[in-house]
Structure 1
Amino acid sequence: MKALTVIIERTENNYSAYLAEVDGVIATGHSIDEIKANIVNAITVLLEDCREYGEEIPEELKGDYSLTFKMDVKSFLDFYTGIFTKAGLERITGINQKQLWHYASGGRAPRPEQIIKIETALHKLGEELISINL
């Protein structure tokens, strides 16, 4: 199964997404769920149009594929600003709040090691949360 990457970025009024491997597959939305639904719809429309007009289906969309969603740190911090405080993120990532503010404002891009640190902490938190039953 091929893994295709959906890149999600912050825009002025919402979030936009595009399929990295296939030109022209784009979507917008105000939430991750909306982006996911809209990008799947955009792929479906492209496949239907290719069939209807006798166009070649992009190789990446032939057969089975899965979608992986990727967001840059600035867009992530903006999207989840009402859920994660900088203090809370500092506790789970070990990255000080001042650095996180730089990343959130776009004033400074995190080094690859910092991105991995943030992603690892978030995945660990997700694993912990999913294991809890109330």
Structure 2
Amino acid sequence: MIIKAFIERSSEGGYSVYVDQNNNDLNYGIHGIGNTAKEAVDDFVSAYETMKEFYRVKGKGFVEAKFEFMYDTASFLQFYSTYFTLAGLSRLTGINQGQLSHYLNGKRNPSKRTIEKIDSSIHDFAKNLSQVQVV
């Protein structure tokens, strides 16, 4: 079962990962926190494994899941900043590098249209990249 897990940057600057509490597919709740998006994801995965072990020890049924991580813009930019430079992401999306920096640092929030532009640009890039063969 694939469950959406949401990664968001908090107003204090940290990150959290959570599953929608209205999702009734799981018989438990988990979350993760960290100073970076990666730390929060790692904490979330650790919480999942801990909960799984807890249910095993208690002899309770545990709903296994795989998680699809959904990022807010700041979390995405921070998480993938070791793979994409803002200059490269600017060329890819057509969004000014300074504007991307504001999103990354939480100084501004992108509009829905800008979020869609980033999302579609990244997916188009990934699709093109998946067709590359190095010989």
Report the TM-score, using the length of structure 2 for normalisation: 0.67
Equivalent residue for 2:24?
none
1:42 deviates by 2.4
8 Å Cα contact 1:19-1:26 kept in structure 2 = no
Residue number among 30, 51, 55 corresponding to 1:50 in the alignment: 55
Is the partner of 1:23 in helix, strand or coil? Answer: coil
- 2:32 counterpart residue number: 26
Is this contact kept in 2: 1:4–1:66, CA < 8 A? yes
Residue-by-residue CA offset, 1:45-99 (whole Å, 9 max, x unaligned)? 32332353366x6xxx64x644110122112222333432333222211222232
1:8: Cα distance to partner? 2.6
Partner of 2:44: 39
What SS does structure 1 have at the residue aligned with 2:133?
coil
Task: Give distance in 1, aligned partners of 2:77 and 2:119.
Answer: 12
Q: CA deviation at 1:15?
A: 5.4
Q: CA deviation at 1:113?
A: 1.5
Match in the other structure for 1:115 = 115
Distance in structure 1 (CA, Å) of the matches to 2:38 and 2:130: 18
- Residue matched to 2:105: 105
Percent identity, please. 34
Alpha-carbon distance in structure 1 between the residues aligned to 2:29 and 2:37: 23
The one-letter code of the counterpart of 1:115 is I
Q: Give per-residue Cα distances to partners, 1:9-46, cap 9 Å, x unaligned.
A: 4588985433334534436597859936x534422432
Contact 2:6-2:19 within 8 A present in 1 as well? yes
Structure 1 segments unaligned to the other structure (5+ residues):
none
What is the TM-score when the length of structure 1 is the normalising length? 0.67
Unaligned runs of 5+ in 2: 22-27
Distance in 1 separating the partners of 2:74 and 2:45: 24
